[in-house]
Amino acid sequence: MKLLLCLALVAAVATAQTLTDEQKANWKKWSDECREETGVSPEGINQLRTNHFDNVDDKIKAQSLCFGRKSGLINEAGDVLADQIKIKLKRVAVDDKEVDKIANKCVVKKDTPEETAFETFKCLREQKPKFTPV
């Protein structure tokens, strides 16, 4: 019985971390729309997707803000919506305590909305590499 429960839990966690076709389509659509808007290079996009946060430029930060807005994690004023971040974190975190700890650490307002978006997503991915904003 314990083995069955463990297998069910593992299956649930694995499923929760896999993006649906709709989420993948949204990710691509939003990424493409933001890339047109910001002018970020394909290398810059790849840098974000692979969690390489060194030597970022303003276009990469603008991409983070644009994508955050399209995914509903950042409002039009450029404020990170902590409640929405927590909903997405719950898919990859152990429990609510961990979600709160990560959100409190990562959702910190910076000098500009672009900097806030970039630093928030950078922190989230450093804390939980499987975090996804879609």
What fold characterizes domain 2-127? Answer: Recoverin; domain 1 (1.10.238)
Parse the chain into domains and list their residue ranges. Answer: 2-127
| CA 113/CA 104 separation, integer angstroms | 18
* Ranges assigned E (strand) in 16-120: none
pLDDT in tens, 12-31: 344 345 778 887 888 889 88
Give me the mean pLDDT over the 2-21 stretch. 45
In sequence order, what are the beta bridge partners of 80? Answer: 74
